[in-house]
Structure 1
Amino acid sequence: MTITVSDVMPAARDIAAKLEVSVRRVIAFSACSDFSTYVDIDGDGLHWIVAERAGREVKRRTTDSIDELMHWLAVEVTFQMAGEWAWEQRSRFPEREVTGTDRLAKQVELLRRLDGSWAVQAQAEYDDAYSPAFG
């Protein structure tokens, strides 16, 4: 069975609704700007693509799973939203330093709205990347 845009859109709409953003913020089907991400669907699967200037492809992931594609999209949009939140916090509370840890905590909170396992995975990846090495 070939997956189509019509198959993917309900899941993208669900993410958008839970995050209270437009579906265009979650998924695009063509490059919109420098280093934008978009989805391409063809007979080989679902492709999550990062493109730079003039649409030159920089990175590509491919899957047959709508759930996996949605996970990739959710991580991306929540990262952006957490960055915007951090910027707003710096503006509203200049006396308080907003750290990368604060930003990650916000991203994990947003991912938890979508799927608890995505939040756990993001937290584990952060812990692995930033925990001090012992031994």
Structure 2
Amino acid sequence: MLSIEELQKKVDELVFKAGLPRLSVNLCTTPAGDGTPYISFENEMYNYVFSERGYEFSRKITDSTDELLYWIMSGLAYKIAFQYELENRISGEDGRRIAFPKYIELMTKMNLSWKSKAGDEIEKTLAANPYDDSLYL
């Protein structure tokens, strides 16, 4: 397992690879109380936890550093992809048509092996909720 400092260094390297602003992600080890995720280390496992005002609403657990980094960077990539969509919106088109390819592009830049995983995520999302341009007319 890596320390929080070692994880931060890896995150900073991934941010740089994707061409994103420096210090885009600052890892925390305690809850901020505002929904910001934090990492705890329990029983030789990484815990990636989201909580707000003392209420935990999500916890992912893994012993894989790669998996943890994927979770961290995925959140950033989604944020940036949907900001990109907002700035490049096409009237009458489901915004995910722009955001999802951008998301996959960012994840691929960070780690080539994440391309298929990100693509699978998008496929599952679209299987449950297909593109619907009629909502944006």
**TM-score, scaled to structure 1:** 0.77
Change (3 A) 1:131 1:60: closer
Kindly tell me: are residues 3 and 110 of structure 1, through their superposed partners in 2, closer, same or farther at Cα, counting changes over 3 Å? Answer: closer
Structure 1 residue 42: Cα displacement: 3.9
- 2:3 matches 1:4: yes
The partner residue of 1:114 within 110, 119, 123 is: 110
2:81 is equivalent to residue 85 of structure 1: no
2:69 equivalent to 1:105: no
What is the SS of the residue equivalent to 1:107?
A: helix
> Measured at CA, do residues 124 and 43 of structure 1 come closer, stay the same or move farther in structure 2, by a change above 3 Å?
closer
Change (3 A) 1:97 1:71: same
In structure 2, the CA distance between the partners of 1:18 and 1:61, relative to structure 1 (3 Å rule), is same
The total of aligned residue pairs comes to 127
* Superposed CA RMSD: 2.4
Amino acid at match of 2:77: T
Change in Cα spacing, 1:115 to 1:126, as seen in structure 2 (3 Å) is same
Contact 1:3 1:41 in 2 (8 A): no
Report the Cα offset of residue 99 of structure 1. 1.7
- Structure 1 or 2: more helix by fraction: 1
Identity of aligned residues (%): 20
In the TM superposition, residue 43 of structure 1 has moved relative to its aligned partner by: 4.2
Stretches of structure 2 lacking an aligned partner (at least 5 in a row): 129-137
CA, structure 1 residues 24+127, in 2 after alignment: closer, same or farther (shift >3 Å)?
closer
Q: Which moved more, 1:102-111 or 1:24-33?
A: 24-33
> Does residue 126 of structure 1 match 2:125?
no
Give, in angstroms, the shift of residue 88 of structure 1: 1.5
